[in-house]
Amino acid sequence: MRDPTGTDWTPHEIDLIVGDYFEMLQDELAGRHYVKSHRNAALQELTGRSRGSIERKHQNISAVLDRLGMPWINGYKPLANYQRALLDGIERLLESRGGTLALPERPTGLAESAALFVEPPPAPAPPNVPEPPALVRLARKFDPAARDARNRALGREGEERVFHFERARLAGLGRDDLAKRVRWVSAEDGDGAGYDILSFTPTGAERLLEVKTTVGHRTTPFWLSENERALSAERPDAFRLFRLYDVARTPRAFELAPPLEHSVLLQPANWRASFG
């Protein structure tokens, strides 16, 4: 085998390591045991690359998945500065899998668990650092906001989890009367209200919760409808955007209060066409 030290990874080598990474990620999300060092050693045999080179490439893959709003392997912290060929390799694999991860099935009723860690929202991000055009194109092609919006099962699970969480929260505060009045509006009345869950503060004030769920990390972008945006401006006292993330592993959450423009960058994404 040739000594590849100091040379760019070939497309074949990239396909090997990207495929290996996704296999490990699927095992991790499913709770299956695997040994990183064993997988690394196998790649060393196949590619002739060093242990450190392989680990850095794993971190590069994590950085791309992070940008795409997808889970990445714990222990392989995202590391930027990757070659264009790596983006091409990830694109090839995602295309072969329909553009996303096949998440493991979880036990029925898991969303009924009232346990949920709610944390402060992320601080507003600094001005965007220019990204490689190839990465921008890849992020548009596999848009995480559109992906999560299409996944109705994911959205329903998130709403159900927040519904049970709010009922348990109020009951824990001694307000069983309010807990019984919490409603899953989108399930009972359908979409269109501009929010998903009707809940309450301990004093009885309304909380209109619009739930946005993702398998990605806490800053994964999401879609916001004009109806939801308008309600946030109309009822800033009551409207809260409830962001639920990392649901494939350990769901965590935070809330955003209006004006939403102070927390996220809102960009128009669609145009309504009419004939009059």
275, part of any domain:
no
Specify the pTM: 0.85
What's the pLDDT score for residue 25?
Answer: 93
Q: Please, how many CA atoms are within 13 Å of residue 27, restricted to the half-sphere of its CB?
A: 13
25 Cβ contact list (under 8 Å, min separation 6): 71, 72, 73, 101
- The answer on 114 and 88 residing in a single domain is no
pLDDT at residue 4 above 80?
A: no
Assess whether 143 and 41 both reside in one domain.
no
Judgement on whether residues 193 and 117 belong to the same structural domain of the protein: yes
Res 257: pLDDT: 97
Let me know whether 115 and 215 are in one domain: yes
Measured CA distances, 144 to 80, 96, 162, 201, 210 (Å): 19, 17, 21, 32, 18
Is 22 a member of any domain? Answer: yes
The token duo for 63 is 């950085």
Domain that holds residue 154: 110-124+131-262
Give residue-wise pLDDT tens across range 85-131. Answer: 999 999 999 999 887 776 666 555 556 666 789 999 988 766 667 88
Using one digit for the tens of pLDDT, what is the confidence trace for 59-92? 999 999 999 999 999 899 999 888 899 999 999 9
Residue 3 within a domain? no
Q: Does residue 170 share a domain with residue 86?
A: no
Q: Is residue 24 part of a domain?
A: yes
Q: Tell me: do 165 and 250 sit in the same domain.
A: yes
Overall number of domains in the chain: 2
Query: Within this chain, do residues 80 and 212 fall inside the same structural domain, yes or no?
Result: no
What are the C-alpha distances in Å from 262 to residues 18, 85, 120, 122, 267?
Answer: 38, 37, 14, 12, 13
pLDDT band at 1 (very low <50, low <70, confident <90, very high): low
In which band, very low, low, confident or very high, does the pLDDT at 181 lie, cut at 50, 70 and 90? very high
In a domain, 21, yes or no: yes
Domain presence at residue 270: no
> What average pLDDT does the segment 200-206 reach?
98
Q: Judging by DSSP bridges, how do beta strands 197-200 and 252-256 pair with one another?
A: unpaired
Q: Are residues 81 and 117 in the same domain?
A: no
Helices (H), the chain: 11-30, 36-47, 51-67, 84-96, 133-141, 144-150, 152-172, 176-179, 185-189, 226-234
- Asked, for residue 114, whether it belongs to a domain, the answer is yes
Same domain, 24 and 139: no
Q: What is the pLDDT of residue 100?
A: 73
